[in-house]
Structure 1
């Protein structure tokens, strides 16, 4: 019986991972198209009346206006695609293959690609002012998506630490903990070297706070039973990464020697590739963090090959709908100012502060999850 259960579980895992992979490809293609059109593909659209609002600008500013509105359009197309599938699939867990919703999730691929193309063509002829409103909506709701990512990250850090302890990898745990703190300190030192200095007091303050916070939550981890210096080390490294990424988003050449405000096409390409990898990878993993996203279920749940799916279809599409909003912000630097001529990815003051605030939220949430079991003793945190 155990072998039969394992076979069924493996079948479900492979089947549904293949389906998820197709949606990842669709999403990734949308992100790549948005990046290409924003950076290099504005020509031709300026002759359409729906882009007339960009005629008030000239040269690079006009290209930026058209590029940003194209990004908003693709974001809107992807959101509609995933959002309506989410609505259709609410409550459906794959236990009835005769239900048309099984085909909605697992099939009709050619029709879906044609549908995406049709929606995009239709959006081309919708006037720009509509998508400025859409940009504002994306700006607000993308904060929700970032919070989801942070919650996922905290859960992953906790799970990783528990895995090392459960498998009694104590030597590896010690080695990795030391390595993490070495990396965190190195990142902080490099941040001071490249982004700090007397002329960049804000940068120096932000970097210093990373170190101060690391000392605080590391000390707490050593003092409380629910703490783990390994988990604190992971948090330290991630927060250091967020801050160095934030400071690298500045367009201030004095405080950011890596500023790419006037970058060439070849300089932009690595940033484009990195953006695609980060968005798709984080979204794919986040979509697997719902309680319903599990492969380790009770054997009684499997009554045949047409039983419950190992993840929530509707939540999966909800995550990708939210990610569709997020890409609009990432690819425009969270800046709705359409006169910006920069074609680089995820740059600007707003983008910088989004990362800095995200780092503070990660710090606060991680610290809270460490001390909460001591403060709220009547709650079950398992």
Structure 2
């Protein structure tokens, strides 16, 4: 009986895998549909945290437990974000503990991951409400822990992005069709470097208009130095990684640098490009909405990329293998809950954020800059490490 049920389930999953995206989503509970539902729950939690931060003061100030909040009414928004984040983090961490190690589609843990939505929705609602009755000192402690968790999320995201860029470079290697592929690779690499240089020039114009803007000049110039360093390492005869990989990595570093200088507080004197982030106008609203969706998309795409963290890659995959690591997926979302909290409070538990702003402040700026430098270091190590290990193996064999 159990074997027949397993075969029936596998037949249904086989049809779903061959079908369209809509068939995977609508035809019953399955892991392909489940990941989008978890992403939707994460999006709703992010929007709830924003609503509590920007519009929850009038409701929260009447609650007795919030009167001891450090800084008075003005820091209720920060605490509210952390409380929503705590509930979301606990939910995904519970899912991580209950699904970690799932390898086959017909396991009981897979049914829990892909189904039981009524129970999980009630669990999520309960875990969202309970933190609002937790003492403030517990929330402040969670805020300190969330700094570390958000940092873990950024490191995981970095490795995932670098692995994707490396995979893209491997797909474009001119092994099979030397003439056609080589031209395509050169066009892509040239385009990447043009985008990098254009971005650096625009940052000099917008964020370093005067020689006195030494910090921004240092950030932008050091980004250019890192681009040159990655290119030199990639073109080294022993590495021979080509221009495409450092070109795409350069785009990512330029993007991180732009995010860093853009996160500088409004009173910064070296910003000539009007951001309007504190006026609540339509441009600020659009920027905020795009940023929130970008957080969710980044968390979702990183969560389903568990294969780049496998030390032993399976050459062949069986039909009943899970399409992505369930435990890793939920762990990324748990750290992502800490990450969106840090963005909404600008990495400062005692910082008051204005409406329709996200990731603004000197702390946010330095987090982005360190993230950029770490990305360059991880990339250089990933291309150099195989040569180092090979040299050690040759030395030990001799």
Calculate the TM-score normalised by the size of structure 2: 0.84
Counterpart of 1:283 (choices 299, 304, 307) is 299
Taking the aligned partners of 1:342 and 1:30, their CA distance within structure 2 comes to 18
Counterpart of 1:349 (choices 362, 365, 390) is 362
Contact 1:35 1:272 in 2 (8 A): no
Contact 1:290 1:315 in 2 (8 A): yes
Taking the aligned partners of 1:189 and 1:145, their CA distance within structure 2 comes to 30
Counterpart of 2:100 (choices 82, 87, 90) is 90
Deviation at 1:338, TM superposition (A): 3.9
Pairs aligned (count): 365
Taking the aligned partners of 1:115 and 1:348, their CA distance within structure 2 comes to 35
Query: 1:240 corresponds to which residue?
Result: 254
SS in 1 for 2:58: coil
User: Please, what is the CA RMSD of the aligned residues?
Assistant: 2.8
Query: 2:332 corresponds to which residue?
Result: 319
Taking the aligned partners of 2:337 and 2:196, their CA distance within structure 1 comes to 32
Deviation at 1:343, TM superposition (A): 5.5
Q: Structure 1: which 5+ residue stretches go unaligned? A: none
Deviation at 1:111, TM superposition (A): 2.4
Contact 2:53 2:78 in 1 (8 A): yes
Deviation at 1:379, TM superposition (A): 7.5
Taking the aligned partners of 2:101 and 2:281, their CA distance within structure 1 comes to 46
Deviation at 1:164, TM superposition (A): 1.2
1:42 pairs with 2:57: yes
Deviation at 1:291, TM superposition (A): 2.3
Taking the aligned partners of 1:263 and 1:54, their CA distance within structure 2 comes to 27
Deviation at 1:83, TM superposition (A): 0.5
Taking the aligned partners of 2:338 and 2:374, their CA distance within structure 1 comes to 20
Taking the aligned partners of 1:237 and 1:290, their CA distance within structure 2 comes to 24
Counterpart of 2:183 (choices 153, 171, 181) is 171
Contact 2:263 2:359 in 1 (8 A): yes
Taking the aligned partners of 1:231 and 1:54, their CA distance within structure 2 comes to 48
Q: Map of 1:200-215 to 2, 5 A cutoff?
A: 200-215=213-228
- Are residues 131 and 326 of structure 1, via their aligned partners in 2, closer, same or farther at CA, if it must alter by over 3 Å? same
- Are residues 379 and 329 of structure 1, via their aligned partners in 2, closer, same or farther at CA, if it must alter by over 3 Å? farther
Taking the aligned partners of 1:153 and 1:207, their CA distance within structure 2 comes to 21
Taking the aligned partners of 1:149 and 1:19, their CA distance within structure 2 comes to 21
Deviation at 1:256, TM superposition (A): 2.2
Contact 2:285 2:356 in 1 (8 A): no
Contact 2:147 2:347 in 1 (8 A): yes
Deviation at 1:132, TM superposition (A): 0.9
1:226 pairs with 2:240: yes
Query: 2:204 corresponds to which residue?
Result: 192
Q: Structure 2: which 5+ residue stretches go unaligned? A: 1-10, 25-29, 394-398
Counterpart of 1:369 (choices 376, 379, 382) is 382
SS in 2 for 1:291: helix
Taking the aligned partners of 2:55 and 2:335, their CA distance within structure 1 comes to 26
Query: 1:66 corresponds to which residue?
Result: 76
Taking the aligned partners of 2:379 and 2:32, their CA distance within structure 1 comes to 30
Taking the aligned partners of 2:262 and 2:348, their CA distance within structure 1 comes to 16
Deviation at 1:282, TM superposition (A): 1.1
Deviation at 1:21, TM superposition (A): 0.7
Calculate the TM-score normalised by the size of structure 1: 0.87
Contact 1:249 1:259 in 2 (8 A): no
Counterpart of 1:116 (choices 114, 124, 127) is 124
Per-residue CA deviations over 1:303-359 (Å, capped at 9, x if unaligned) read xxxx33222211111111111111111111111124555761001011000100111
Taking the aligned partners of 1:287 and 1:336, their CA distance within structure 2 comes to 26
SS in 2 for 1:246: helix
- Are residues 293 and 144 of structure 1, via their aligned partners in 2, closer, same or farther at CA, if it must alter by over 3 Å? closer
Per-residue CA deviations over 1:263-317 (Å, capped at 9, x if unaligned) read 2264442232122222111111111222289999736x23xxxx33222211111
Taking the aligned partners of 1:293 and 1:183, their CA distance within structure 2 comes to 30
1:141 pairs with 2:149: yes
